Amino acid sequence: MAIAVKGFLPDVIPLLVFAYGLTAAAIVDHEHMILPDSIVQPLLWSGLIYVAVTAPRDLQWHVLGAAVGYCLLRWLPRVGEGDAKLCATAGAWLGLTALPTFLMISGGLGVASALIYFWFRRKSSACPFGPPMVLAALVIMTSETLGLPPSIVG
């Protein structure tokens, strides 16, 4: 109850919506190897709107985070456009300064999940990258919400 009095609860509601959307995207990507625009696009725009309303002075860093996140993954081989859009969504919510941490965590989780995926399938096949990105975004968003250090980089 003390948490709600200090304004924690109203701040968490949009983040819970973000987490719900990310979880839906991860499940769809895991099952069908696709990140649908109907999930990812609203998350991206809602992140930018959330920042515009709550921290308008930081909006340019979140727009840059979305643009850089998309551009970094879009041209990599074997990375789908949905993954690039999900990275842009993470950049929109987390901002440009958290993007290196996001990429490091999601990359490490992606390698780990690919090894596990290969171990159980015993063949080389495509592995969804959405679930590791979702987990990385949730870890960073949770740590920022709880007031933990925002970055493990520098």
Tens digits of residue pLDDT in 98-117: 999 999 999 999 999 999 88
Tell me the whole-structure pTM to 2 decimals: 0.88
pLDDT tens per residue, range 40-89: 999 999 999 999 999 999 999 999 999 999 999 998 888 889 999 999 99
Q: Is 84 exposed, middle or buried (0-12, 13-18, 19+ CB in 10 A)?
A: buried
Percent of the chain with pLDDT over 90: 68
Amino acid type, 12: V
Amino acid type, 135: L
Pick from 152, 92, 49: nearest CA to 84: 92
Please report which confidence band the pLDDT of residue 151 belongs to, taking 50, 70 and 90 as the band edges. Answer: low
> Rounded distance, CA 51 to CA 92, Å?
8
